[in-house]
Amino acid sequence: MKTKRHASLGHRLLVSILLILLLLAAGVVPSDAREPAPEDAVKAAMLYNFVQFVRWPEAVLPAVKPELVLGILGRDPLQEWLLDLAAEGSSNGLIKTVQLGSLQELAAQKHQLQVLYVGRTAQKDLPAILRALDGVPVLTVSDDELFVKQGGMMNFVRQNSRIRFDLNLDAVARGQLKISSRLYGLARLIVKDDVIQEGR
Phi, psi (5° rounding) for residue 3?
A: -90, 170
Q: How many domains does the chain have?
A: 1
Neighbours of 123 (CB within 10 A): 19
Averaged confidence pLDDT in the chain: 79
Asked whether residue 199 carries a pLDDT value surpassing 60, the answer given is yes
Dump pLDDT digits (tens) for 42-60.
888 888 888 888 999 987 7
Q: Which domain holds residue 8?
A: 4-198
Dump pLDDT digits (tens) for 130-165.
999 999 999 999 999 999 999 999 999 988 888 899
pLDDT at 3: 42
Which H helix or E strand runs over 166? strand 162-168
Dump pLDDT digits (tens) for 21-32.
445 444 433 334
Do residues 162 and 24 touch, judged by C-beta distance below 8 A?
yes
* CATH number of the structural domain spanning residue 91: 3.40.50
pLDDT at 66: 60
Beta strands in the chain (DSSP E): 54-55, 68-73, 95-100, 115-118, 139-142, 154-159, 162-168, 178-179, 189-192, 195-198
pLDDT at 141: 96
Over residues 188-199, the mean pLDDT reads 90
pLDDT at 62: 58
